[in-house]
Amino acid sequence: MHFDDLLVIIGGFGRYQKIRLFLICLVGILCAFHAMNMVFVGAKPDYQCKIGERNLSRKEFANATLQDWKTFLRSAGKGCEIYSPSQTYDLIGSGNLTIDGSKVIGDNILSTEPCTDWEYSQDVYGPTIVSEFDLVCSQAWLRSTAKTLYFFGRVIGSVVFGQLSDIFGRKPIFLTGLLSLLVAGCVASAAPSMAVFIPFYILQGAAQTGLYLVAFTMCTELVAPQYRVMAGFMIQGFYSIGYMTLSLLAYFIRHWRYIELIITLPVVLFSVYLCVLPESVRWLLSKNKIEEARTIIRNVAKVNNVEVSDSMLEDINDRKEQAEVTDGRKHTFIDLFRPLAMLAISVNVWFNWFVNAMVYYGLSLGTGNLGGDPYINFCIAGAVEIPAYILCVLFLNKLGRRWPLCGTMVVGGISCIISGFVPEDLLAVKITFAMIGKFGITASYAIIYLMTAEVFPTVLRNAGMGVSSMTAKAGGMLAPVILELRLVWIPLPLILFGGLSILAGGLALILPETAGRPLPQTVEECLSNKSKTVQKEKWDSKSSNDGKNAIC
């Protein structure tokens, strides 16, 4: 008996699954906190050169007021240089310079000095790493470098955590991700310098990404096939909730150190998961750990008030495709490249991830400046994703995966291209099409996430998800570069985003349909045509026994 068939009998989405799914999804909120915190932790407030007491030793400023004198000094270099205070004072005193504009002296007459101290506005943001570590002017590169290295950490987390969870199991790597996040967040919040902050911020990126990938996989492996859509989008919905909640926390806390600490300390509460969360039964079966799998299955049946016979549990041991080949070979990400049919699937999936991430972040960066309060704008940016997820939950089981993925990417791509050619004076129309594009790419991003978890076999699922996430990070890092091409031709970035979206959407139709099919356990099962679509009458039977659990 295939495990998916057995799962229908013991409860594909019973009380046991509901409780554990909710607990896992709570981690999505935590991951969103750490994925987006640099928006506020690394915010760049308005700043200006600080005119210290050493510059104000004179008791009078000739024909200039103190404020006019300061303003003139600061006008030299956009916050990075000031005119020489002593030379400026002498020229004012001698009548060769008036600051009120009645007499104009060329700037080249005055020498400049580099700023060594700055004043930062706190009208919008409180203290950030920019204001505390003076990441402006000659040190501004450290701010952008921190963001780049954070994405590098996410790439590492995608590959390492995915590979390790396929080898050692979902649960231990899940707990390792939580511990790493706790350590990285606490140390980063107390960092005395950027030299300490950056390494632990890299670890924070690795831990956050790895934790979310493992949690997502655990969600999809926990429930029966008909509920995988709901499970996948449930954790993404919690991620959006964390996205919005972060704006509220940042608004009321303001100080970057306390923001880091507040979003990190809740990790301690998840320590109880050590006793509550089980190992993935699918992973246990793929590793031929039959007795451990049987123990968990019995517990599932007990909590769901279902009787399970010993013959049913014995039967899962008789089906060889449920266990990893017993030749002692460990599967690695290299197996994603062989045979040729597996390579074609892998490359197609990864290209879709790359394009989705690039367009998603490109549109977010290109249309994110809405004006007004940045905290409200950030909250809206998180809220707009939820309707896309809801529509996916409502229709994916009915329409499958391939056509919705293709449709959302093509519609989103066409909208981007149209937006690129809309004249600037039709701003409302231009923004409308851009937002349709963002809505489409948000939905397609969610679909490819779910589809990836379904298309790769259990022995390679987290490795496949890890490499997919790595290609997404590469696409995200490329997005700002694409946006700079508007200097060549204003519509070019949107045309590239739209064209690549349409291309990826077309290629998605080549991928195997995964809706309503058992999750493949091995590479052979993934590539074979023997993974039969789950019969509708089985789900109808399940719905009659537990109708309140059926959502699709």
* DSSP secondary structure, 275-324, as one string: HHPPPPHHHHHHTT-HHHHHHHHHHHHHHTT----HHHHHHHHH-GGGS-
Pick the range with the lowest mean pLDDT from 135-144, 464-473, 523-532, 540-549. 540-549
Domains of the chain in start order, with CATH, are 1-43+142-287+289-322 (1.20.1250.20), 47-120 (no CATH), 327-525 (1.20.1250.20)
Measured between its terminal Cα atoms, the distance across the chain in Å is 24
Task: Tell me how many helices (H) and strands (E) the chain has.
Answer: 24, 4
Question: Could you give the CA distance from residue 161 to residue 217 in angstroms, rounded to a whole number?
Answer: 12
Number of other residues whose CB lies within 10 A of the CB of residue 8: 21
Number of other residues whose CB lies within 10 A of the CB of residue 494: 30
Task: Kindly state the greatest CA–CA separation across the chain.
Answer: 104
Model confidence band, residue 44 (pLDDT cutoffs 50, 70, 90): confident
Question: Could you give the CA distance from residue 343 to residue 338 in angstroms, rounded to a whole number?
Answer: 6
* Structural tokens at position 39: 């928006």
Question: Could you give the CA distance from residue 213 to residue 232 in angstroms, rounded to a whole number?
Answer: 11
pLDDT in tens, 107-166: 456 777 888 888 888 888 899 998 999 888 888 888 777 877 887 888 888 778 878 888
pLDDT in tens, 175-201: 999 999 999 999 999 999 999 999 999
Is pLDDT of 326 > 50?
Answer: no
User: Three-class SS of residue 141?
Assistant: helix
* Structural tokens at position 429: 């129309």
User: Three-class SS of residue 371?
Assistant: coil
Q: What pTM did the predictor assign? A: 0.75
pLDDT in tens, 281-299: 888 888 888 888 888 888 8
Question: Could you give the CA distance from residue 253 to residue 339 in angstroms, rounded to a whole number?
Answer: 53
